[in-house]
Structure 1
Amino acid sequence: MLRSTQPRQGSSANHILGINLDGEKLLVVYGSPNGMVYERLAVPTPEDASFAAVVELIMLQADKLLTLTQAQRLPLPDRVAVAISGNLDFESGVVLSAEDFPEWKQEPVRSQLSVRFNLPVTVEQKANAGALAEYYFGAGQKAHDFVFISLDPVVRVGILTTGQLYRNSSGTAGQLGKLPLSEEGPAGFGRPGSLTGFASARGMRELAQMRFPDHWNSDIDLFQMITDANAGDPYAQEVFAEAGAQLGNGLVVLTYLLQPEMIIVGFPGCLLGDVLIKPAQDTLSQAARLDEAQLPKIIPSPLCTRLQALEALAPAVHQFHQLQP
């Protein structure tokens, strides 16, 4: 494993090894605090993988990535950043549980990776990492407060106001996807009929199979569905319109509670634009019964295809800015 020997005193994380991990994929990137991404590697996460197996996968992919960066004579990273799904105790860096890693209980992500890489490691919940990416590089740069919605692997929100994330002591904040919307329906990594079931990446694939079982194969790729919808396929557009409407229903309570300036929809929903966003905005407006001035604007992430890589870097980027005088 390529690694530096000992982190420099007062290191400002000029070179970051970023990790974006959930139950479906692992993305490893090499980048900098200004959001530059030099190299990236992505692989599927094995289904029902143990924590030990995932750590080994991370080390293998990091080794491959750093071999590429060393060939380009790029310096070794001086910090590791991790964006991870599940309920995270931020202070200890322990993942308490995760819907997409059902076997994980009290897994010491930060300490294990610190030992393996011999580098400082910063770990952040995936939706919070998305909010930080938007704050430093995207639509949140000029916003006083906003909500970021992660749709993959579950529907979860990161709440940011005046540059600070909202956290609770148990690491369970932001689980909007658990909101029940129907007695039955798609599940995704959640319960049938939940917001995660209707509006998460996996849930939208299930919704397509439920509504139009003869239109797509059982192994339909979500990105093909998105391409079809943007090309005018009425079946795909109807699926994403329903998902968007359910997302709008789920945002009503959030709107009353927080009154954010904007709600930013993350990847892959951002690829759909108005196909998903307009039904969400229209449903929120009708269901909330608020004046237009009181309604948050729902927008797709302008980072979109860059978002997952920037989520991987964002925990270290945030720490870098927090340490600046």
Structure 2
Amino acid sequence: MGLTIGVDIGGTKIAAGVVDESGTILSTSKVPTPPTPQGVVDAIADAVRSCGEGVGAEAVGIGAAGYVDDKRATVLFAPNINWRHEALKDKVEQRVGLPVVVENDANAAAWGEYRFGAGAGHEDVVCITLGTGLGGGIVMGGRLYRGRFGIAGEFGHIRIVPDGLLCGCGSQGCWEQYASGRALVRYARQRASASPDAAAVLLSLGDGTPEGVDGRHVSAAARQGDPVAIDSFRELARWAGAGLADLASLFDPAAFIVGGGVSDEGDLVLEPIRKSFRRWLVGSRYRPHAQVLAAQLGGRAGLVGAADLARQG
């Protein structure tokens, strides 16, 4: 199969792109994300038709945040869009006249990194995305592992602290409450409140109060050497690395690929993650260590991965 179209559904925009067999995006189209579930379906179709007109694309892959069934056709649950058992494959196929594959967005991004990014050359990789929350995907033996019901890889909701912090999923102590963009901001606000003098740079970037601190401020302050911001990144990295050590006991991959907005800070966060991973890895002194790599495709990973999964059929 030649050209395919990948679709990445975001909170504010829906991006579609024509992708060739080497993972190169040839053309793109972006439309605002509508507020209604039916509006999102219509917007996906509009974006696909806009970027794919006259190029001879043969299939469409859609990355959707939420639980996607084992047939890669129905979004069982997508809280941000309010989809419940949404027959997305059938609805989009009817509008665009092309075969459609639906995949969880983190799985699509993991596949994109495996095929065309940091995972190239490895058959067994586990990806985590440190964004607002924490997502992930698993490639074992060169195949995307989805589980019996299509819902594998929801790492953010592994409970790592019994009776810990309340999560938006309704559970307590989920990993993403300790290793995510939200967690980073919480750490920074708590530390700035306890030691405002040490957080002078951080506080100056917002409105002067801990409550005015957001993720952009923490990143900028850390780059300027603010000790509170740096310590907040280290706390996030401690939890992220400890979680990777647990995943190593489950999957024993050749590499972990760390993506998402938090990972954009490079070694500021990746080196502490690697250190924590080595610290908590069972039998660390006696076993080979998986590499902990930075994702390479950035925001393109989901779109490229979805397009390639459509190509795989």
TM-score interval, smaller chain: 0.7 to 0.9
Could you tell me whether the CA contact under 8 Å between 2:242 and 2:280 is conserved in 1?
yes
Matched, 1:26 2:14: yes
Equivalent of 1:287 in 265, 276, 280:
280
Tell me the distance in 2 between the aligned counterparts of 1:188 and 1:231: 32
Tell me the distance in 2 between the aligned counterparts of 1:211 and 1:77: 51
Alpha-carbon deviation of 1:61?
4.3
Letter in 1 for 2:89: R
In structure 2, the CA distance between the partners of 1:190 and 1:236, relative to structure 1 (3 Å rule), is: farther
SS in 2 for 1:115: helix
Equivalent of 1:57 in 27, 43, 46:
43
Aligned residue for 1:85? Answer: 65
Aligned residue for 1:257? Answer: 250
In structure 2, the CA distance between the partners of 1:278 and 1:197, relative to structure 1 (3 Å rule), is: same
Alpha-carbon deviation of 1:52?
1.2
- Higher mean alpha-carbon deviation, 91-100 vs 178-187, is at 178-187
Letter in 2 for 1:236: A
Letter in 2 for 1:197: Q
Tell me the distance in 2 between the aligned counterparts of 1:233 and 1:250: 26
Matches within 5 A, 1:262-281: 262-281=255-274
In structure 2, the CA distance between the partners of 1:94 and 1:212, relative to structure 1 (3 Å rule), is: farther
Equivalent of 1:302 in 296, 301, 313:
296
In structure 2, the CA distance between the partners of 1:154 and 1:114, relative to structure 1 (3 Å rule), is: farther
Tell me the distance in 2 between the aligned counterparts of 1:313 and 1:288: 32
Letter in 1 for 2:76: L
Q: What percent of counterpart residues are identical?
A: 27
CA deviation string 1:67-110 (max 9, x = no partner): xx76xxx6253322111111111415111113444x32111111
Letter in 2 for 1:194: C
Tell me the distance in 2 between the aligned counterparts of 1:270 and 1:205: 14
Could you tell me whether the CA contact under 8 Å between 2:6 and 2:60 is conserved in 1?
yes
Alpha-carbon deviation of 1:238?
1.9
Tell me the distance in 2 between the aligned counterparts of 1:144 and 1:105: 34
SS in 2 for 1:140: coil
Could you tell me whether the CA contact under 8 Å between 2:31 and 2:43 is conserved in 1?
no
State the TM-score, normalized to the length of structure 2: 0.81
Tell me the distance in 2 between the aligned counterparts of 1:188 and 1:268: 20
Tell me the distance in 2 between the aligned counterparts of 1:58 and 1:86: 16
Alpha-carbon deviation of 1:146?
1.1
Aligned residue for 2:158? Answer: 179
Tell me the distance in 1 between the aligned counterparts of 2:79 and 2:278: 31
Matched, 1:35 2:28: no
Alpha-carbon deviation of 1:28?
2.6
Could you tell me whether the CA contact under 8 Å between 2:44 and 2:92 is conserved in 1?
no
In structure 2, the CA distance between the partners of 1:232 and 1:100, relative to structure 1 (3 Å rule), is: farther
In structure 2, the CA distance between the partners of 1:20 and 1:180, relative to structure 1 (3 Å rule), is: same
The structure with higher relative contact order (CA 8 Å, sep 6+) is 2
SS in 2 for 1:142: coil
Tell me the distance in 1 between the aligned counterparts of 2:154 and 2:94: 30
Matched, 1:97 2:77: yes
In structure 2, the CA distance between the partners of 1:153 and 1:33, relative to structure 1 (3 Å rule), is: farther
Letter in 1 for 2:273: A
Letter in 1 for 2:267: D
In structure 2, the CA distance between the partners of 1:220 and 1:20, relative to structure 1 (3 Å rule), is: farther
SS in 2 for 1:174: coil
In structure 2, the CA distance between the partners of 1:33 and 1:57, relative to structure 1 (3 Å rule), is: same
Alpha-carbon deviation of 1:45?
4.3
Tell me the distance in 2 between the aligned counterparts of 1:133 and 1:301: 10
SS in 2 for 1:147: strand
Aligned residue for 1:111? Answer: 90
- Higher mean alpha-carbon deviation, 22-31 vs 277-286, is at 22-31
CA deviation string 1:251-285 (max 9, x = no partner): 23211111111100012233122222222222222
In structure 2, the CA distance between the partners of 1:188 and 1:288, relative to structure 1 (3 Å rule), is: same
Letter in 2 for 1:137: F
Alpha-carbon deviation of 1:62?
4.5
- What is the number of residues matched between the two proteins? 298
State the TM-score, normalized to the length of structure 1: 0.79
Tell me the distance in 2 between the aligned counterparts of 1:122 and 1:285: 38
Alpha-carbon deviation of 1:114?
0.9
Tell me the distance in 1 between the aligned counterparts of 2:147 and 2:134: 18
SS in 2 for 1:199: coil
Structure 1, unmatched stretches of 5+, are: 1-11
Tell me the distance in 2 between the aligned counterparts of 1:274 and 1:179: 25
SS in 2 for 1:77: coil
Could you tell me whether the CA contact under 8 Å between 2:66 and 2:104 is conserved in 1?
yes
Structure 2, unmatched stretches of 5+, are: 197-202
